[in-house]
Amino acid sequence: MFDFRKSVVYQVYPKSFCDSDADGLGDLAGVTAKLDYLAWLGVDYLWLNPFFVSPQRDNGYDIADYRAIDPRFGTMADFQALCREAGKRNIRIMLDMVFNHTSTAHEWFQKALAGDPVYEDYYIWREGGPDGTPPNNWQSKFGGSAWAYVPEKGKWYLHLFDRTQADLNWENPRVRAELRDVVRFWMDQGAKGFRFDVVNLISKGSYESDGQGDGRRFYTDGPRVHEFLHELRQSTFGDDPEFVTVGEMSSTTMEHCYRYAGADTGELNMVFSFHHLKVDFVGNEKWVLVPFDFQQLKDILFSWQTGMSSHNAWNAVFWCNHDQPRVVSRFGDEGESWAQSAKMLGTVIHCLRGTPYLYQGEEIGMTNPGFTSLGQYRDVESINHFHILRDRGLHEDSAYAILRVHSRDNSRTPMQWDATGKAGFTTGTPWIGVTPNCDRINVASQLDDPDSILRHYKALIALRKRYDVVAYGDFQPLDPRHPSVLAYQRQHQGDTLVVVNNFYRKPVQWTCPVDLTGFTCLLSNYPGSTPQTTLQLPPYASLVLYRSAGASPRTPGGAPPLHPARG
């Protein structure tokens, strides 16, 4: 039986993973073709981004038919084959359920537009101001007003994302029943898990204007969201341990996540939260260039670890996904310390309490592509914000510099399988450019190299399965105010894990507040690392140190002694 706490999830962005039919777009058969690789890596679940029928305005997050596969990605037979073949390798398939909104091309919205009152009530319509202004000042997450006007109706509909992504009216029981049926449909086809897209936005509160704000406080973690999630679960996967569920939580709070992902609250297994990935923003504004705030990053990661743990709730832990830039470019080093920093970043995540999510290409240290012109971008959010930045008077070069750091397309370039011009992704013309460093950074070369980033990730995944303390241990920060070291301790039934990371290029000497007598080094990114209470940490050094209950010289079976924390 799969235990999501001992599992690792690998995220496949199907469009950019592997193209089996040379049309330049990855597809389901391409994913099936790579299952042996994924099984070798040791992952338990594959989360696939949406591959349903969609105009692709937001790369599939604008769904026009929840039950049909976009022919560009394959057929239902391809999906069933994928589930079957994955199952043979002990891998399960998780699907992405985009239930906050549909595409305006969806039949429901088209019927609403045509005046059918039943379907009109599937969406959120409001009258605007007498002067032609929208119902309130809420902003779309992709820029501009969150309302679009339909002259034939004389009303506005809400879209928290693109104007072609109309928000569903979850207050309407028929909508909720429809969405439950969609979940059951995919359960019947072989899905074993679900990721629910921006699911904490489904319950809107009051439709008030938000002063200087963008409206998010009125619809984030809204009044009926827990009730809706509870109902969804009870009427579909229920308590079946076969299914794993994760909710993507936008701008959420920890208090809400205790409930979304509490062991006994009957909602979801775990949550994605994003506060730790806003440490290179200014407030909520991501289209800026500022260095990341290391102290803030640690404070957020650590407070979520301890908070969720003390409330018996479970985190999904991750750096990367299809909306985030590549982590080695973001918090690591693309240059001389590329491999060391990529391994260190992997270690930080994979030894935390929670289920690690690994995004395609992260396991080989893929970098941001460094695009230089708007024509290279595909992402609606990036293109919109480029224009917004230009309208604000920013020079073109500065706008590109911001996109190169923050664009979601940074992670959407083709998976780098080998050193060929198209990275082994396709023999056709890829839908988005291949990162030129594929000749150097690719799976083929790292498979052969015992010291590669890929091998390090494989070792990290194996650690979680082999050592219960990695999966089940509690969490305690170590020396949390240190300016360059990120370290923590995990304990479970007398076993102790100490994880030490130098987050920077500058070497550092660090004295561990835990007495490291009796510890062994399970994994490091430098050869010959030995546990010593005072450690010399070279650039981006990372060590996973372990002592089993039996090996503890002073406190057999109990907690190891703690030195008082420094400073």
Residues lying near ligand GLC in the complex (CB under 6 A) are found at 58, 61, 98, 161, 197-198, 248, 322-323
Backbone φ and ψ for 257, nearest 5 degrees, come out as -70, -25
For residue 44, the minimal CB distance to ligand GLC (Å) is: 21
Q: Which helix (H) or strand (E) holds 16?
A: none
Q: Which one is catalytic: 78, 197, 221, 363?
A: 197
For residue 246, the minimal CB distance to ligand GLC (Å) is: 12
**158: its two tokens:** 């809400």
For 63, 276, 377, the CA distances from 381, given in Å and listed in that order, are: 17, 21, 10
Q: How far apart are the first and last CA of the chain?
A: 46
Which is nearer to ligand GLC, 322 or 326 (by Cβ)?
322
Which is nearer to ligand GLC, 161 or 431 (by Cβ)?
161
Dihedral sign for Cα 147, 206, 217, 271, please: negative
Question: What are the strands, taking DSSP E only, across 169-321?
Answer: 193-196, 244-248, 270-272, 316-317
For residue 75, the minimal CB distance to ligand GLC (Å) is: 24
Cβ atoms of 201 and 219 within 8 Å: the answer is yes
For 30, 35, 70, the CA distances from 78, given in Å and listed in that order, are: 10, 14, 12
Which is nearer to ligand GLC, 246 or 543 (by Cβ)?
246
For residue 215, the minimal CB distance to ligand GLC (Å) is: 16
Which is nearer to ligand GLC, 58 or 479 (by Cβ)?
58
* CA–CA dist 441, 342 (Å, integer): 12
The residue with its CB nearest to ligand GLC is: 61
Which is nearer to ligand GLC, 316 or 514 (by Cβ)?
316
For residue 207, the minimal CB distance to ligand GLC (Å) is: 20
Which is nearer to ligand GLC, 103 or 309 (by Cβ)?
103
Q: Which helix (H) or strand (E) holds 423?
A: none
Amino acid in position 369: P
Amino acid in position 404: R
**134: its two tokens:** 């929208």
Q: Where are the alpha helices (DSSP H) in 89-125?
A: 107-113, 117-120
Crossing angle for the helix pair 225-234 and 173-189, to the nearest 10 degrees: 40
Which is nearer to ligand GLC, 21 or 323 (by Cβ)?
323
Which is nearer to ligand GLC, 182 or 485 (by Cβ)?
182
C-alpha of 442 from chain center: 22
Which is nearer to ligand GLC, 58 or 409 (by Cβ)?
58
Q: Which one is catalytic: 62, 96, 167, 248?
A: 248
Which is nearer to ligand GLC, 50 or 369 (by Cβ)?
50
For residue 323, the minimal CB distance to ligand GLC (Å) is: 5
For residue 425, the minimal CB distance to ligand GLC (Å) is: 20
For residue 142, the minimal CB distance to ligand GLC (Å) is: 8
Cβ atoms of 50 and 70 within 8 Å: the answer is no
**74: its two tokens:** 């394959």
- Tell me, yes or no, if 334 is annotated catalytic: no
Amino acid in position 540: Y
What does the DSSP assignment read for 166-206?
EEB-TTSHHHHHHHHHHHHHHHHHT--EEEETTGGGSS---
- Tell me, yes or no, if 197 is annotated catalytic: yes
For residue 99, the minimal CB distance to ligand GLC (Å) is: 10
* CA–CA dist 391, 252 (Å, integer): 30
Nearest Cα residue to 56 out of 65, 48, 44: 65
Cβ atoms of 215 and 165 within 8 Å: the answer is no
For 10, 45, 86, the CA distances from 2, given in Å and listed in that order, are: 15, 10, 14
Q: Which helix (H) or strand (E) holds 17?
A: none
Cβ atoms of 341 and 305 within 8 Å: the answer is no
For residue 468, the minimal CB distance to ligand GLC (Å) is: 32
Residues identified as active-site: 197, 248
